[in-house]
Amino acid sequence: MMHQLVLKKPLAFFDLETTGINVTKDRVIDICIIKALPGGEVVRKTQRVNPGMPIPLESSMIHGIYDEDVVDAPPFKAIARTLAQFMEGCDLAGFNCNRFDVPLLVEEFLRANVDFDIKNRRLVDAQRIFHLMEPRNLSAAYKFYCNKDLIGAHGAEADTIATLEVLNAQVQRYMGMVAKTDSGQDVVFENDMDMLHSLTANKNVDLAGRMIINDKGEEVFNFGKHKGLPVLDVLKKEPSFYDWMLKGEFPLDTKRRLTEIRLRMFSNGNGRK
């Protein structure tokens, strides 16, 4: 395997399979590093890792690696120095690596007390290039799904007709395939509006997303000093926060939803009279 990249120093492509997506709490269970050298050669290193914790089933179902697959693998601490030496002097590259793989890998090295400084390394994220260079607008979707150029783009009628055609083509293309919702749930793609809603709907309580539904099904604030805290708890402990939001420059829909939650609190007998 060769490459055509113009390099002044080695470029280490790498990808991690992990126990989950929490950079702080989750651990590496599989790592592959492909080092592209300035002369065009490529050197590969792949290693399974025992994370020292159970692999959640939902993660195993994504990457196909289960507890029994890593039971005899070394812990990261045992291979950290070898990996660091293999990547020594390399710039780093990956797909979505800047947001996930690089931070998690650095955490693993820090836990292993191995110095892996990225200050003097270039970081190249192929996903970011993909998103920058390939448009993600209606015209691009119309071309991709319908193989037609969108004439009159940004006109309401043309855009609306194109959206109908795009959704119709999406349903035909993906029928029977498995899609994953934002919550990680697998759904079978069908020509069914309930399914399409579950796939595309967000967790917003209000349309602006100032309040969202957390994993426990609770309404929580999604901004400011109370971010992540249940709305009901905040309204009970700090009633003035409600008045501040009602007087603030928030959308009317946000104020309406907040008022509905507050009224529910009183109707349940939990509010102050």
Burial of 157 (0-12, 13-18, 19+ CB in 10 A): exposed
The DSSP symbol for 54 reads P
Give the per-residue pLDDT at 129. Answer: 84
pLDDT higher than threshold 50 for residue 272: no
Mean pLDDT over all residues of the chain? 90
The CATH homologous superfamily to which domain 11-130 belongs is: Ribonuclease H-like superfamily/Ribonuclease H (3.30.420.10)
How do residues 113-144 score in pLDDT, each as one tens digit?
998 988 889 999 998 888 878 888 899 999 99
Give the per-residue pLDDT at 196. Answer: 86
pLDDT higher than threshold 90 for residue 273: no
Give the per-residue pLDDT at 59. Answer: 92
Q: Where does residue 32 fall: left (phi above 0), alpha (psi -120 to 50 degrees), or beta otherwise?
A: beta
Give the per-residue pLDDT at 120. Answer: 85
Structural domain boundaries of the chain? 11-130, 138-200, 211-267
Give the per-residue pLDDT at 193. Answer: 81
Give the per-residue pLDDT at 24. Answer: 85
Pairing mode, strands 219-221 and 211-213: antiparallel
Give the per-residue pLDDT at 269. Answer: 62
Give the per-residue pLDDT at 106. Answer: 92
Give the per-residue pLDDT at 20. Answer: 93
**d(Cα 248, Cα 109) in Å, to the nearest integer?**
45
The DSSP symbol for 41 reads B
| 136, two tokens | 């993600």
From residue 185, how far is each of 106, 170, 200, 232 by CA, in Å?
A: 29, 20, 12, 27
Give the per-residue pLDDT at 108. Answer: 94
Kindly provide the b/e burial profile for residues 25-48, where b requires at least 16 CB atoms within 10 angstroms of the residue's own CB. ebbbbbbebbbbbeeeeeeebebb
At 2, the pLDDT band (50, 70, 90 cuts) reads: confident
In the chain, pLDDT over 90 holds for what percent of residues? 66
